[in-house]
Chains A and B, each alone.
Chain A
Amino acid sequence: MAKMTFSGGIHPFDGKDMSKDIPIKEITPKSDLVYPLSQHIGAPAKAIVAKGDRVLAGQRIAEAEGFVSSHIYSAVSGTVKAIEERRVLTGNSVLSIVVENDGQYEAVPAWPVKPLEEMTGEEIIERVKEAGIVGMGGAGFPTHVKLSVKEPSKIDYVIVNGAECEPYLTSDYRKMVEEPENLIAGLKVYLKLFPYSLGIIAIEDNKPDCIKIFKALTKEEPRITVKTLKTKYPQGSERQLIFAVTGRELNSKLLPADVGCVVNNVDTVNSVANAIYRGLPLLRRIVTVTGDCIKNPRNFSVPIGTLYSDLVEEAGGFRKEPVKIISGGPMMGFCMFGLDVPITKTASALLCLSEDDISKAEPSACINCGRCVEACPSRLVPKILSDHAENFNEEEFLCGHGLECVECGCCSFVCPAKRPLTQNIKSMRKILLAKKKR
């Protein structure tokens, strides 16, 4: 069968071998846990505990403010030590709840569960909302909002994004290999919600064992198919993924639901399964800890709120002094200023590198080679958009469809003159999108 893909894209060094063969290890946190109230897209949650309160594992400590927002749960039992501004990943300070871990792990009982067949659509969405589930691939869009489409009968495809195209990341892979049944169960929740949809598990062809497992498990499932994607970055980008598996094109003005698709990350689908079948809120996520500086690179199941520094310790500490620490993958991840920040719902990896490509690369004049045009998955002309951004030429930037950029980083990656194309375009987009909102 032909492998599905899109035009453009790149093949960076993938580095997945470091962590891909080691099973996921569950971490029990030792130190305090920190819960920033804003770890999703939408309004920040509101704290419903006060300083000095005792909380249990699985207890809700902050409540969604409005529809596009999400609840937050404590993963351990202990006392609320403070509710104060804490530094988060981006370097900003965000109001956070700090829970002092008492080491008892005393938990609230799980919610009662009903068999899926007896649940209505509203009940499912309500439970997902209760559980505080957000898109765990990185964007952090509240999942119950994604599921609340106007006409569920018009959704044709539910796509599980198992591409994991970011280099170094293996968390989705490990989860798929270790608990494939859970993922399929989660997908069935979606299929129940969208009665006429087909479930697609989309996996890149660099994970043949995964594809084999899912093909075998879904043989008897008429509404679930497994699609093999070509290994290429950014194959897991929502628009590119939808195009690859359904042939439908999506631009910045359309949502996946507008073209009859719902796309969810592997970890998100697993969390949905936990909420529906086990009555558990979102307490943990899978994080890949890797890079040439880490002694024992592997994947961890981490309680949300754990500090990154604890993760490094769990992975055996540093083998070499890191020069650059990235939360997420090397293409779209975020550079960290320090390790004293908490894991949030959207953190997918911790990448510690001893060499920094960027500070070594001196930008020079563009030679018009056209590599950025060839690589751009959105089929733009990054070189020209970047020039418009540098000159702050708003009109021309919009004319060149700069808002269609998905900020994947392919143009900067391929540029032989090492120009910061993505950075320029990203900054301009940020300004224009903020302007639009106002």
Chain B
Amino acid sequence: MNGLLNVSSNPHTRSKVTSSSLMFTVIVSLLPAAGYGVFKFGLNALLLIGVTVFSAVMAELLFDLITRRKITIGDFSAMVTGLLLALNLPPAAPWWIGVVGAFFAIVVVKMLFGGLGQNFMNPALGARCFLVISFASIMTNFSVDGVSEPTPLALLRLGERPDLVEMVKGNTPGTIGETSVIALLIGAAILIIFGVIDLIIPGMYILTFLLCMGFFGGHGFDLYFLAAHFSGGGLLLGAFFMATDYVTRPITKLGQFVYGIILGILTAIFRIIGPSGEGVSFSIIISNLLVPLIDKATAPRFFGKGGTRNE
């Protein structure tokens, strides 16, 4: 034994889970939805996904280079943001929408606030809302091959009954990644099995939302009506992949419980009285802003707080 020994403060062992491995799992879990989007909407969807992911990574790389920070693209978080944003774009959108959105998401929402872990709002959703407001006609045009069709939830609003089976399969108009219930649930299962997320946020979100829709949606607990709302409008994409974003959700379990309930109520309000009848993205970014408050209010009760002397 000649060489010097390594020394460090305890503990001297670490778990195998890393930030990159978690992000990578998220990317894998989004692939079924992305794959279905490409299968259904064709090459333009593939192009959009590619351009958006590439732009997101480039945006982070450029920002790091210009501000002379450590290059952080190796943690895959920019890829996740790009992919999520792409899945939230209409399939017929021009390619530059992806570029503008990705730069907004990475530079404005994430990097300017200090990079990974510091953003107060989900970057992909922040960018989507920015795009919806700035380029409303492009972002609400869900035409496929030039044929414009209303989304299932828009149909539902008009009093029609979209085909539930087609909704579950995903054979309906919508953004690239939101249409297929099956693909999204496969992705959600991947996240849960690999321990990336648990069911607290998505579970409470969906449960509260369905209860609110049942009570105040005007159709009572009509199974068809609730199932359509469950399957459409990006609820699953939002609940499993975006509301669960680590950075912008509460850190304690109790906080996550409360957060899920708030999300459910907000989404129900948007769908019942909002102008577009969807509103998952807006609910999530509004709830993101409430997270510091929720965290403060739900700080855990430390072990032994109730401890008293044994008299």
Contact = CB atoms under 8 A, between A and B. Distances in A.
B5 A322 contact: yes
B35 interface: no
Contact of A358 (B6, B72, B252): B6
A68 interface: no
Query: Chain B interface: which size bin?
Result: 35 or more
A357 B117 contact: no
Contact of A334 (B10, B21, B251, B256): B10
A422 B10 contact: yes
Contact of B304 (A239, A413, A423): A239
Contacts, number: 181
A369 B246 contact: yes
Q: Tell me what chain B mostly uses at the interface: helix, strand, loop, or mixed.
A: loop
Contacts of A334: 10
Interface stretch (B11-19, B56-64, B169-177, B182-190): B11-19
Contacts of A12: 13, 15
Contact of A423 (B9, B17, B21, B300): B9
A162 interface: no
Interface in A329-377: 330-339, 353, 356-359, 361, 364-371, 373-374, 377
B299 interface: yes
A413 B9 contact: no
Q: Tell me what chain A mostly uses at the interface: helix, strand, loop, or mixed.
A: loop
A370 B251 contact: yes
A19 to B, nearest CB: 17
Contacts of A426: 9-10
Nearest to A366: B117
Contacts of A330: 10-13
B68 interface: no
Contact of A333 (B12, B117, B118): B12
Contacts of B19: 364-365, 367, 416-417
B8 A335 contact: yes
B252 A373 contact: yes
Given A373-B252, A418-B18, A365 B8 contact: no
Nearest to B304: A251
Interface string B3-41: 101111111111101110110000000000000000000
29 contacts: A251-B303, A252-B304, A258-B309, A259-B308, A318-B1, A321-B1, A322-B1, A325-B5, A326-B12, A330-B10, A335-B5, A336-B5, A338-B5, A356-B8, A357-B14, A358-B8, A365-B19, A365-B116, A373-B251, A373-B253, A377-B303, A379-B303, A404-B303, A416-B18, A417-B19, A418-B18, A420-B9, A423-B8, A426-B10
Interface of B: 1, 3, 5-15, 17-19, 21-22, 72, 75, 77, 115-118, 246-249, 251-253, 256, 299-310
